[in-house]
Chains A and B, each alone.
Chain A
Amino acid sequence: MAILVGTICALVLIPVIWKLIPDRIEPTQKNKRLGHIFFLFIDFFSLWLLWVGYNEIKAIITGIHSQADIIRVGSRDGFYVVGIFMPITHFFIMVNSFFPVIEKKYNRLVNQCFIVALITFLAIGFFGSSCIRVSVENAGYTYCRKASGISALARTLVYTKNMALCDELVEY
């Protein structure tokens, strides 16, 4: 019942917190310091995310190699690579704020690196997710639609070795 209460509270609190977010922020020293502390937390979160993504993909690969009966694949598993790009962006921000001379000197190079990193992130995110699904299908697994969830945002796709297993999973 605690989850239900928590969900209702979260649904009520989200619009309230949204109203509390400031409409303007100035680049003062205090704000900059606060920003860097906030981004440090984001960096730790990103590294945790990277670890989670690594474990997810490792579990899928292990499942394929050991010919597991059921393999669960997240629909957005490729996007775990965001865990690398958040610290890179923070590094870019730090160079920009603390070493403006370097930033001016290598402006062009930094720009190009940033653009390439962003495009790579998007490409890996979109195609990585598809590649994981295709590799599972190529390993002889069949998509079990009945056992997969109905959430539209984040889904866990269930792959089974054959349709009989899928039916068993649904009955279970």
Chain B
Amino acid sequence: MSIEKDLKLKLKNNQRNIFITDADDLLAAWRHRRERTSRSCRCFDFSRVPKEYRLSAPPNKRAALMPCHVSVRCHRSQLTKTIKPAPEYSTNACHGHGRTVHLSTQDLDALDTASFARRNVAPYISPIMDTVTLSLVCKDLGITGRAIPKVIKGRQYVAFSGYPGLRARFPGTIYSANNRKIITMAIGALGIKNMVTKGGVLTVCITVPLTILEAFLKDHASIYELAGNLASDLIKIGVSSLMGAFAGIMAGGVVTIVAVPIVVTILVGVGVGLGLNALDKNYHLTEKLSADLEKMSAQIERATKNKIYDIETGFYRGMREFIRSQGGYSGPF
């Protein structure tokens, strides 16, 4: 087993102390040290090792690398590293840093949490919710369960095929198209629209606060970038939801199988979202939008400034004329 794998395994098994007495081992440890962002660091030479970890690194490239002990402790999800000289060497052997240094890794900060949620939750929430609805429908009606739309005395109904006794959610044979159960389970055009609306609203509710939060926490974000991204996200969500719903309803007009419109809605929603992303990436639309917003803001600012200046000048001129007309003071204005 390689040192890296061994180290990983030991970390996984929460072994309290791991002693490393070789330069390569030390490098391996650095490669697998946990960053603040919880990603493995890929440091292949000492120059790239952050300063706080250079305690046992050689002072220059020509100096021989001295073996040190690195102990890694996992305690209540906190990773503590101790770098100290190996006992078989003198205390000065470890490049003069003969003291034990505790390096505690920081907890996930707010930016990391927002970043994680943004990366792993926001884009997938709508497809996941739709898939849950699909699985519920398939569980009750079967993958080829059919819902045949019928119009009786001008009112629209949905009739199910199969044995009603075998169904848990739909024990009846015919339901009104406006029935709450039918709409919740995304059956029929109204159901599809309801499902897409719910998914879209939830995505907006998660996406917008996360984007704003991240923009506030980030050092290099501007208000124009934030506005551009928000507008771009809203359009992407809106267009993909529209296309998904339209495709789902069209699928409902072609086949009577209940699962097909839901599947089509999910696939088209995801596909259109990806297509819009690709267009955005290729033509830099969001960046251009942010630049346009910035330009427009500068223009408005300039125009407003001029207007204020005009108002001020007009006021002073009026005052001067008024005072002159009174035949008295002819001072600075």
Q: How far does the alpha carbon of A138 sit from the alpha carbon of B31 in the complex, in Å? A: 11
Q: How far does the alpha carbon of A14 sit from the alpha carbon of B270 in the complex, in Å? A: 17
Interface residues of A in 126-151 (CB under 8 A from B): 126, 137-138, 140-143, 145-146, 149-151
- Residue pair A96, B255 in contact (C-beta under 8 Å): yes
**B83 / chain A contacts, CB cutoff of 8 Å:** none
Interface residues of B in 297-330 (CB under 8 A from A): none
Interface residues of A in 110-163 (CB under 8 A from B): 110-111, 114-115, 118, 121-122, 125-126, 137-138, 140-143, 145-146, 149-156, 162-163
**B267 / chain A contacts, CB cutoff of 8 Å:** 82, 85-86, 89, 121
- Residue pair B270, A151 in contact (C-beta under 8 Å): no
- Residue pair B254, A36 in contact (C-beta under 8 Å): yes
Interface residues of B in 28-55 (CB under 8 A from A): 37, 39-42, 44, 48
Contact of B214 among A49, A150, A154, A156 (CB under 8 A): A150
- Residue pair A24, B122 in contact (C-beta under 8 Å): no
Contact of A10 among B203, B239, B271 (CB under 8 A): B239
Counting chain A residues whose Cβ lies within 8 A of the other chain, the interface size class is: 35 or more
**A14 / chain B contacts, CB cutoff of 8 Å:** 235, 238-239, 242
Which label, helix, strand, loop or mixed, suits the secondary structure of the B interface?
helix
Q: How far does the alpha carbon of A103 sit from the alpha carbon of B211 in the complex, in Å? A: 47
Q: Is B250's CB within 8 Å of the partner chain A?
A: yes
**A118 / chain B contacts, CB cutoff of 8 Å:** 263
In the complex, 21 of the A-B residue pairs with CB atoms within 8 angstroms, ordered by the A residue number, are A11-B231, A14-B242, A21-B246, A23-B189, A25-B149, A25-B189, A25-B250, A26-B253, A28-B253, A34-B250, A38-B246, A42-B268, A74-B277, A79-B270, A80-B274, A93-B255, A110-B144, A115-B143, A150-B211, A151-B232, A153-B203
A interface residues, Cβ below 8 angstroms from B: 1, 3-4, 7, 10-11, 14, 17-18, 21-28, 31-32, 34-36, 38-39, 42, 45-46, 48-49, 52-53, 56, 74-76, 79-80, 82-83, 85-86, 89, 92-93, 96-97, 107, 110-111, 114-115, 118, 121-122, 125-126, 137-138, 140-143, 145-146, 149-156, 162-163, 170
B interface residues, Cβ below 8 angstroms from A: 37, 39-42, 44, 48, 111, 115, 118-119, 122-124, 127, 131, 142-144, 149, 151, 156, 177, 188-190, 193, 203, 206-208, 210-211, 214-215, 218-221, 225-226, 229, 231-239, 241-242, 245-247, 249-257, 260, 263-264, 267-268, 270-278, 280-281, 285-286, 288-289, 292-293, 295-296
